[in-house]
Amino acid sequence: MRVLTVEQMRQVDRLTSAEYGVPGSVLMEKAGAAVAELIVREFPRQVRAPVLVLAGKGNNGGDGMVAARHLAAAGDPVKVWLTALPVTEDAQAAWARLRQETPQVEIMLLFDPGVWPRPLSEMRQAGLIVDAILGAGLTQPAQGLEAELIEAIHQSRVPVVAVDLPSGLPGNAQFSSTALAARAPAIVRAQWTVTFTAPKMGHLLGPYADRVGRVRVVNIGTPAVALERPEFKFSVIRRRQTQPYLESRVPASHKGNFGHVLLLAGSLGKTGAAALAGKTALKTGSGLVTVATPKSCLPLVAGHCPELMTEPMPETADGTLAGRWLDSGAHAQDWLDRLFHGKTLMALGPGLSQQPETCAAIRHLLSISPIPWILDADGLNAFAGHVEMLAAMAATIARKRGKLGAILTPHPGEMARLLGTTPAAVQNDRLRLAVNLAARLHAIVILKGHRTLIAAPDGRVGINISGNPGLAKGGSGDVLTGLIAGLWAQNPDADPFHLAGAAVRIHGVAADCAMHQNTDMTLLASDVIAALPDALRQEMEPEPDMPWEIQ
């Protein structure tokens, strides 16, 4: 499903009316009706008390007035408070029809002198508030009457259904001005948001995306072809993207059909990272997995999962991967040739440590790798201050393959170290930084976190909505690395962008399945691995044919 910027949504609306002959008034009628339908379904008790519709002057307010008319026509008590008279043609028509067809609706003009502020007690008498004050095009924080009204909504503690976006929330996820006031911007916190045609960036990304509650995306008449434009590069990862990698195996299958992962991971005290990633790669379906780990760590890794093959690596005195010998003579080269022989891809990084010699070894191994690679954790940390070197290595493997051959999986801290900035700076500009780094490195960049982003060099971005806060725990990233490796080993010719998105989604779905027997506090990375069978079975089912929701 496409995710649109405000400008793209306006373009789609213009196309819908101009090229496909769907008038704006029809779109508004369907939008308002969809809001009313959700209210009746989700809030059957609240509609017995007055439903208070707060409407602004634009089309967002018009949608709210259509919803008010439908609710009133069904016999529900409705009040409408206007922050301004409607100014758009369609909103004016909705306003006229509301007064004509449902004269029982009580209407209050808040902008009349002496009317605002209304007593908060009057707002608290409502069973439900419909927020149709401000639309998606907001570029600056709400001010004046709108900001006061938003604050009153908060104080009322009445449940809220927002139309398109909660008022005060920027549709593009960030305000255009970085010079915000010292106090937080006024933004409605909704229990539900009903949006139209496609989710907007503000529903999913940015520091205030949690204000949207559950989001229902309703088709109000825009043809699907209007959304399939090459310049629309952002999308939500859906079940249909995972299914090509989950097809049933033929009876004559053998382990050689499903790839061989080489996993360089682990160090003294961090063998669990290697074991988690390796086991996940097997559990995801890779035919073979070899974990190359410092020789003193090998028994611990092998003990976690007997199905793993292991390769002892030379180690430093600290029990980390040694590097001095890797480029020293024919013997080392023969050993490296054997290490890479028969492997489909290499995943490198979990638990390797940031010991200087180990970092040098990581850089050397990546520079000579004849196979595509996934770089995670300490593999990424080894390139702090060496981004251009990393870009050259990604370009080299892409030339060898004739297509992209590198996937990076940073969390905000690792991303910050790569770019020489702070985790806070990364969090404040996640989308732009992920897109820019993918283009700079000619690689897929998976920027982990809430709403993990998968960015491709051509500007495509997948946004993941699966998963839960239980993943905020050590080992979760190691499981994701193993999952990507397992899928890629079985599908070496797949588009790494789509494959990475599928892996991220499955990782989150497994975490959600594991919550049936856990809480956010108790969930462990090993629980996510154990839930993979349930997640894969769920993903193989057809996607439900219903209005699409983000939870």
52 DSSP β-pair partners: 79, 129
If asked whether residues 269 and 224 sit together in one domain, one would say no
Please write down the HEC assignment for all residues of 87-134: CCHHHHHHHHHHHHHCCCCEEEECCCCCCCCCCHHHHHCCCEEEEECC
287 DSSP β-pair partners: none
In a domain, 255, yes or no: no
Distance in angstroms (rounded) separating the CA atoms of residues 350 and 109: 61
In a domain, 249, yes or no: no
Domain of 76, CATH number, reads 3.40.50.10260
If asked whether residues 200 and 310 sit together in one domain, one would say no
If asked whether residues 457 and 330 sit together in one domain, one would say yes
Q: How confident is the model at residue 323 (pLDDT cuts 50, 70, 90)?
A: confident
Q: Evaluate whether 148 touches 172 at the Cβ level (below 8 Å).
A: no
Chain centroid, CA 228 distance in Å: 20
CB atoms within 10 A of CB 524: 17
Domain of 283, CATH number, reads 3.40.1190.20
Q: How confident is the model at residue 334 (pLDDT cuts 50, 70, 90)?
A: confident
pLDDT in tens, 31-48: 999 999 999 999 999 989
List the one residue out of 484, 500, 442 whose CA is nearest residue 346: 484
In a domain, 254, yes or no: no
Distance in angstroms (rounded) separating the CA atoms of residues 115 and 501: 52
- The model's pTM: 0.93
> Whole domain around residue 358: which residue ranges?
260-550
The whole-number pLDDT of residue 120 equals 84
In a domain, 61, yes or no: yes
Average pLDDT over residues 320-332: 76
If asked whether residues 188 and 292 sit together in one domain, one would say no
The whole-number pLDDT of residue 529 equals 98
Judged against a pLDDT cut of 50, whether residue 148 lies above it is answered with yes
In a domain, 236, yes or no: no
If asked whether residues 478 and 367 sit together in one domain, one would say yes
269 φψ region: left (φ > 0), alpha (ψ -120 to 50), beta (else): left
Q: How confident is the model at residue 207 (pLDDT cuts 50, 70, 90)?
A: confident
If asked whether residues 183 and 314 sit together in one domain, one would say no
Distance in angstroms (rounded) separating the CA atoms of residues 288 and 23: 58
If asked whether residues 329 and 380 sit together in one domain, one would say yes
Tokens of 240: 């249909």
The whole-number pLDDT of residue 438 equals 98
CB atoms within 10 A of CB 13: 18
Average pLDDT over residues 496-511: 98
Report the domain count for the chain.
2
DSSP label at 383? T
If asked whether residues 222 and 297 sit together in one domain, one would say no
Judged against a pLDDT cut of 80, whether residue 68 lies above it is answered with yes
> How far apart, in Å, do the first and last CA atoms of the chain sit?
15
- Tell me the backbone φ, ψ of residue 347, rounded to 5 degrees: -110, 130
Tokens of 50: 């007055």
Average pLDDT over residues 425-431: 93
The whole-number pLDDT of residue 312 equals 94
The whole-number pLDDT of residue 396 equals 96
Q: How confident is the model at residue 551 (pLDDT cuts 50, 70, 90)?
A: low
Average pLDDT over residues 309-316: 94
DSSP label at 200? B
pLDDT in tens, 76-89: 999 999 999 999 99
The whole-number pLDDT of residue 179 equals 45
In a domain, 234, yes or no: no
Domain boundary among 229, 246, 269: 229
291 DSSP β-pair partners: 263, 310
Judged against a pLDDT cut of 70, whether residue 329 lies above it is answered with no
pLDDT in tens, 351-390: 999 999 999 999 999 999 999 999 999 999 999 999 999 9
Average pLDDT over residues 430-451: 97
Q: Is 527 helix (H, G, I), strand (E, B) or coil?
A: helix
In a domain, 246, yes or no: no
**Alpha helices, DSSP H, located in 210-287:** 239-242, 271-283
Average pLDDT, the chain: 94
Domain boundary among 207, 229, 251: 229
The whole-number pLDDT of residue 176 equals 65
Judged against a pLDDT cut of 70, whether residue 327 lies above it is answered with no
Which residues touch 68 (CB under 8 Å, ≥6 apart)? 32, 51, 53, 55, 78, 80, 98, 102, 105, 130
If asked whether residues 396 and 334 sit together in one domain, one would say yes
If asked whether residues 52 and 187 sit together in one domain, one would say yes
The whole-number pLDDT of residue 183 equals 67
If asked whether residues 414 and 545 sit together in one domain, one would say yes
Tokens of 132: 């149709």
Domain boundary among 178, 211, 229: 229
In a domain, 239, yes or no: no
The whole-number pLDDT of residue 119 equals 82
Distance in angstroms (rounded) separating the CA atoms of residues 363 and 385: 12
If asked whether residues 340 and 214 sit together in one domain, one would say no
Q: How confident is the model at residue 282 (pLDDT cuts 50, 70, 90)?
A: very high
